Amino acid sequence: MYNIPSWGPFKRSSVSAYSLIIALVLLCTGASAQQSASAPVDPETVKALLQRMQALEDEVRTLRSQVQTLTAAQANPAQPNTKEPEIASAVAAASSAPAQVAEEYGSHSQPRPMEMNTPRLQLRGYGDVSWNAKDLAGTTNSFALGQLNLFITSRLSDKASFLAETVIEADQGTNEFGIEPERLLFLYSVNDHLNFSVGRYHSSIGFYNTAYHHSALMQTTMRRPFLFQFEDNGGILPIHSVGVSATGVISSRLGMHYVAEIGNGRSARTTISNPVQNVTDDNNGKAFNLGLYFRPDALRGLQFGFSGYHDHVTPLLSPNLTEDIYAGHVVYQTTHFEFLNEAVLLHHAPDSGAQATNIPGFYSQISKRFGNYRPYFRYEYVNVPARDLLYSDVALLHGPRAGLRYSLTESAAFKVEFGRDMRRNLPSVNLVGTQLSFAF
């Protein structure tokens, strides 16, 4: 297929050889011109010929790049054993490089296949800036830098890749910046039925957590539902974990997928330590999460599923407890319409034999796109009993959010949002905020 040497004599041929070929071409052109003068030309034929010419020019360009590769390999004394198959494999590898590579090198400059054969980092970023105000006594309205999210991927082979989502974010209390790898994963795909990932991941509890990760641009609203708030922002779910995850298709016909995760889980929420157990687990028991979800072909955009999570939590100042989390979701999402519904039940059973607590929570969100505008509405609810050992400070929290998202470009959106937080035994708080979120 890559019979490059046949170009050799052509490349080294003398001026007279070129002259003869040019003469032949001119002769053919002349004959063609005479024919066209005597017979009408079908426009479709001309169009087809032009396209054929374009295709041939493209092939010539490809062959030239192969010749350049051959020449470079022959000129490199460090690789004396360069042979045609190696060149072919280099070009083949170049051909399977990620799209960004083709976009970068394909159109306007010569491809560099030898460089493309190595893993290449792809960097994309997300950021947001907000202004927030609420009518709670003692609070101030503030501009706020959101998360600066540096998203890195690297395709290591046909089946292996690396992914990292590193977030730089200021602490709400101290205004000091911190940096944290929110996701850091080595991914390996065996086939459509088995995909492994190892590292720090977003746990597959429900839908929201693995749909939007740390990108404010990707989510419709300004903020995540409280139910799926990050651990360091007061969230009650184990959003992150460190361990191993497996996902895949069970039945393509039914659109049935599974997810299975085993990891360190999370520690009890404290102000002095990171609740994500990145390096050291509080106990020898591991957290595991099993889920099934369906994306039926019959109704495109629909996804529904459920999951069960189990862990043992060992707080410093209260008795150990077993945590079970049951989650279910029904989501309908197209490019113009979304209707998200999720419900979660946390069950905490203290080892001391004290009465177990149940924490129900749900949110329902609906939005529809009209051109660049997307109005949205969400209602959310979480109810933590006062005797719960981990999250009693949350108590009952519920209320609506209504807003409007305006897409400035494909990579930037402006949102304005109003909300009302209603809590047990506390006055209600009205919220207003705007946000500019973007990708770069």
Partner 1 sequence: MTIKKTISSLVVLVGLLQIGSEGSEQIPASIKSSNDIAVVINPKNDTSELSSADLRKILLGDRRFWKNKAPLTIVLREPGSRERQDVIASLGMSDAEFGQHWRDRVFRGEVSAVPLSVPSNGMASQVVRDNAGGVTFVLGRNLSPDLKVLKIDGKLPGEAGYPLK
**Which residues of the shown chain bind partner 1 in the complex (CB under 8 A)?**
1, 6-7, 9-10, 12-14, 16-17, 20-21, 24, 48, 51-52, 54-59, 61-62, 88, 91-92, 95-100, 102-103, 106-107, 122, 124, 151, 153, 155, 158-159, 161, 163, 183, 185, 187, 189, 191-192, 197, 210-211, 213, 215, 218, 252, 295, 297, 335, 410
Closest CB to partner 1 among residues 59, 171: 59
Token pair, residue 80, equals 């004396």
Residue with tokens 């959106």: 413
Minimum CB separation of residue 55 from partner 1 in Å reads 5
Instruction: Compare residues 89 and 270 and give the one whose CB is closer to partner 1.
Output: 89
Rounded alpha-carbon distances, angstroms, from residue 191 to 203, 278, 305: 22, 29, 22
Is the CB of 93 or the CB of 432 nearer to partner 1?
Answer: 93
Pairing of strands 148-155, 177-191: unpaired
- The residues with which 399 forms a beta bridge, in sequence order, are 380
Q: Which is nearer to partner 1, 100 or 273 (CB)?
A: 100
Specify the residue, 215 or 264, whose C-beta has the smaller distance to partner 1: 215
User: How far apart are alpha carbons 264 and 205 in whole angstroms?
Assistant: 15
> In the complex with partner 1, which residue's Cβ is closer, 4 or 396?
4
Going by the DSSP 8-state scheme, the letter that residue 87 receives in this structure is H
Helix axes 43-75, 84-95, angle to 10 degrees: 120
Show Cβ contacts of residue 339 under 8 Å, excluding neighbours closer than 6 positions: 331, 332, 333, 364, 365, 366
State the nearest-atom distance from the C-beta of 182 to partner 1, in Å: 12
When the beta carbons of 176 and 410 are compared against partner 1, the nearer one is: 410
> What is the closest distance, in whole angstroms, from the C-beta atom of residue 273 to partner 1 in the complex?
27
CB of 293 to partner 1, least distance (A): 13
Instruction: Residue 402: name the closest of 193, 255, 273, 222 by CA.
Output: 222
CB of residue 200 vs partner 1: minimum separation in angstroms? Answer: 12
The three-class DSSP label of residue 55 is helix
- Least distance from partner 1 to the Cβ atom of residue 325, Å: 21
Comparing CB distances to partner 1, the nearer of 116 and 236 is: 116
Q: Output phi, psi for 56, to 5 deg.
A: -65, -40
Going by the DSSP 8-state scheme, the letter that residue 158 receives in this structure is S
Three-class SS of 63-76: HHHHHHHHHHHHHC
CA distance 238 to 384: 16
Tokens representing 36 are 């066209």
Residue 118 vs residues 67, 90, 113, 198: alpha-carbon distances, Å:
20, 10, 9, 22
Question: Smallest distance from the beta carbon of 135 to partner 1, in angstroms?
Answer: 36
Q: Which residues contact 370 (CB under 8 A, 6 or more apart)?
A: none
Query: Hey, which residues does 246 pair with through a beta bridge?
Result: 196, 260
Considering the complex, what minimum distance in angstroms separates the CB of residue 164 from partner 1?
Answer: 10
Q: Label the pairing between strands 412-423 and 396-409.
A: antiparallel
Q: How far apart are CA 2 and CA 406, in angstroms?
A: 52
- Give 47 or 424: the residue with its C-beta nearer to partner 1: 47
Task: Tell me the closest approach of the beta carbon of residue 10 to partner 1, in angstroms.
Answer: 5
CB of 1 to partner 1, least distance (A): 7
> In 3-state terms, what secondary structure has residue 363?
strand
Residue closer to partner 1 by CB (options 122, 166) is: 122
